[in-house]
């Protein structure tokens, strides 16, 4: 029963995301653009990019 409930939740979530993919992409772009502009104006853009790159490298290296 738990597996069925988990799969039903997964299918419903994927359906909702795919049905609203354009809005999800637009909201994601707006959030990233606003965050980038705010970080740039506060002088925190380079440290945040370095932190994101660190996490990307950690996850990439953990795959191998």
CB atoms within 10 A of CB 45: 15
pLDDT tens-digit readout, 14-39:
999 899 999 989 999 999 999 999 99
pLDDT above 90 for 58 = yes
Q: What is the pTM of this model?
A: 0.58
The answer to whether 2 touches 9, Cβ cutoff 8 Å, is no
**Higher-confidence position of 3 and 64:** 3
pLDDT above 80 for 64 = no
The answer to whether 2 touches 11, Cβ cutoff 8 Å, is no
């Amino acid at each position: 029963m738990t597996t069925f409930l988990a799969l039903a939740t997964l299918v419903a979530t994927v359906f909702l995301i795919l049905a609203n993919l354009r809005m999800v992409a637009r909201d994601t772009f707006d959030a990233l653009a606003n965050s980038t502009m705010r970080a740039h104006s506060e002088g925190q853009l380079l440290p945040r990019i370095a932190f994101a790159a660190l996490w990307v490298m950690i996850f990439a290296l953990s795959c191998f």
